[in-house]
Structure 1
Amino acid sequence: MRKPGARSFVELLTDQVASEFHAHQQYVALAVWFDAHDLKQLAKLFYAQAIEERNHGMMMVQYQLDRDIPTVVPAVPAVRNEFTSVREIIELALAQEQQVTRQIEALFAAARAEGDFIGEQFVLWFLKEQVEEIASMTTLLAIVDRAGDDLFRVEDWLAREGHDEGHDSSAPPAAGGAV
């Protein structure tokens, strides 16, 4: 049973769509910053991250459509475009992923409190995804710290290690298809 004053699963899911689209836009801004600074591997990584966040939002939209939940396409807040260091950017990305994790956990808790077993099952995939996202950004931050001022070491590491996770067949479908 939901606590009095607690936000419903549907309300939180609608907010989460906005968060995913905002994350998409923020990651595009980060990728563009890297591109403008001739850090092509970092740019490639964050362009891919942007698409992933867009797809997450569209998965949530498809879920709403499939469950006949009123669906709106939200506006997104302005993103940050100015940075002084690569570390600052990766810290922002990590903080963003940590915030999304807290939001997804709240979604799961709301579904459970409402006895929404389908909603709970839907959110489980996103919880797994967030573990991977936080681990990835934490590792990248460590690589940036080890590289110091030699950002080409970060670029070399990304070129060597890659970040192409491929298609996850357990992922929920995205409205209009995943990009």
Structure 2
Amino acid sequence: MYLSYAAWASNKGYGGIANFLFRHSNGERIHMMNILEYILERGAKVKVEVIPSPPEDPISIQNCFEKIFEHEVDNTKGIYKLVKMSFVEEDWATWHFMKWFVKEQTEEETLALNLLDKIKIAGGTNAGAEAIYVLDRDLQTKSDDAVLAEDKTAANP
């Protein structure tokens, strides 16, 4: 999805948004490789299957990030399913391994929600060219990580 939407954004002239989404696409591949390597290291067989095609192109920047948020929520549900399964089966190594992905999904959802908030402040689907330009420029170099509530302190809110 990130790769497809990055290509869409690039085609529309949103180089910063495309860069942000291309970086996230690469991050998703790294996550997949982490899981694949974990399975191999545990002595299990990896079965690579076809993944569904990405959804249709978004109709706006807001719609793009709404769909990304929905996608991340679906990913979170899948992660939670694996965590629960590892707990029930008392596979503590996998349960421990999956804890990182739980936090990662919290970051991914937070990041998508923060971007949606910015888009809505800029006017949502009615955002003007100047607001979209600023967002596009900002996403060119925006950190790929979100600051979570659990990581904040009184000195660094």
TM-score after normalising by structure 2: 0.84
Does the C-alpha gap of structure 1 residues 146 and 128 become closer, same or farther in structure 2, counting only changes over 3 Å?
same
CA distance in 2, matches of 1:82, 1:159: 20
1:39 is aligned to 2:19: no
Equivalent residue number for residue 158 of structure 1: 139
CA distance in 1, matches of 2:8, 2:79: 28
SS, match of residue 22 in structure 2:
helix
1:64 is aligned to 2:64: no
1:117 to 82, 85, 92: 92
1:30-78 CA distance string (max 9 Å, x none): 0011101111111011001101111111111001100011111211111
How well do the aligned residues superpose, as a CA RMSD in angstroms? Answer: 1.3
Residue 164 of structure 1: how far off its partner (Å): 4.5
Matches within 5 A, 1:8-23: none
TM superposition outliers: structure 1 runs of 4+ over 6 Å: none
Q: How many residues align?
A: 139
SS, match of residue 82 in structure 1:
coil
Identity of aligned residues (%): 25
Gaps of 5+ in 2: 146-157
Higher deviation after alignment, 125-134 or 79-88: 79-88
Gaps of 5+ in 1: 1-25, 166-179
Residue 158 of structure 1: how far off its partner (Å): 2.4
Equivalent residue number for residue 23 of structure 1: none
CA distance in 2, matches of 1:136, 1:34: 18
CA distance in 2, matches of 1:117, 1:105: 15
CA contact (8 A) 1:101 1:130 kept: yes
1:53-107 CA distance string (max 9 Å, x none): 1111111100110001111121111112422111111001000111111111111
CA distance in 2, matches of 1:100, 1:34: 22
CA contact (8 A) 2:19 2:140 kept: no
